[in-house]
């Protein structure tokens, strides 16, 4: 298993992937808030989150694979996934499922060799009344085949449209209770990553 973790207090590198390409996306706001939390070692020590942009990826087409090589954008993306210790998915819900950009990214990184395999992951989502929850179930199903080990609890679904406001006009998370829940997700992801890497 690829890992940057040593026996001492090394940094856990998290690749954060958002299923929305919109700059003001609430789900991107969740990732920004997660990054802010990990930038405070007193809250979450020894964890670094790197946002991985999936917008440059072409739509999956195996005709683009030439002589066993992938297009440059795909190769760069796959390398970032390979080098990560674990993953944080921010998955909005479109039509009871994951978004097309997120599914596309998942499929590109699953091409041989599958660079998702045998690592921990967590999912967060923001949306309507169910907070994007249905997309999480679909993503978990894909994870079974890809050997991604999702944490089971705590779950994080956030109704982005109820009062009081959860996000500001730029899509930044401002709700203290939601930030505390997000912190618990990250701590659980860290603990599960360490468990998997100790095996």
Looking at the DSSP bridge assignments, the partners of residue 48 are: 13
pLDDT of residue 128: 82
- Using 50, 70 and 90 to split pLDDT, how confident is the model at 9? low
pLDDT of residue 180: 97
| Bigger pLDDT: 7 vs 47 | 47
- Which domains, ranges and CATH numbers included, belong to the chain? 12-57+69-197 (3.40.50.360)
121 CB-near residues (< 8 Å, 6+ apart) = 86, 87, 88, 89, 143, 148, 149, 150, 151, 189
Place of tokens 């690829």: 2
pTM for this predicted structure: 0.92
Helix intervals (H) in 53-120:
72-83, 100-110
- Using 50, 70 and 90 to split pLDDT, how confident is the model at 4? very low
- Using 50, 70 and 90 to split pLDDT, how confident is the model at 6? very low
Mean pLDDT estimate for the chain: 93
| Bigger pLDDT: 169 vs 6 | 169
> Does residue 130 carry a pLDDT above 90?
no
pLDDT of residue 120: 98
């Amino acid at each position: 298993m690829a890992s940057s973790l040593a026996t001492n207090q090394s940094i856990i590198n998290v690749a954060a992937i958002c299923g929305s390409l919109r700059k003001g996306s609430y789900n991107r706001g969740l990732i920004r808030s997660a990054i802010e939390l990990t930038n405070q070692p007193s809250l979450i020590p020894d964890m670094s989150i790197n946002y991985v942009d999936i917008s440059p990826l072409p739509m999956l087409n195996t005709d683009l694979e030439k002589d066993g090589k992938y297009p440059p954008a795909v190769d760069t993306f796959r390398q970032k996934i390979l080098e990560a210790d674990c993953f944080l998915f921010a998955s909005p819900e479109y039509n009871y499922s994951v978004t097309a950009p997120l599914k596309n990214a998942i499929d590109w990184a699953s091409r041989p060799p599958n660079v998702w395999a045998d690592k921990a992951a967590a999912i967060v989502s923001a949306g309507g009344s169910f907070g994007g929850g249905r997309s999480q179930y679909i993503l978990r199903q894909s994870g079974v085949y890809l050997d991604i080990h999702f944490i089971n609890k705590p779950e994080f679904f956030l109704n982005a449209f109820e009062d009081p406001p959860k996000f500001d006009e730029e899509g930044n998370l401002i709700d203290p209770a939601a930030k505390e829940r997000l912190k618990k997700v990250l701590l659980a992801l860290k603990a599960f990553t360490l468990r998997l890497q100790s095996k």
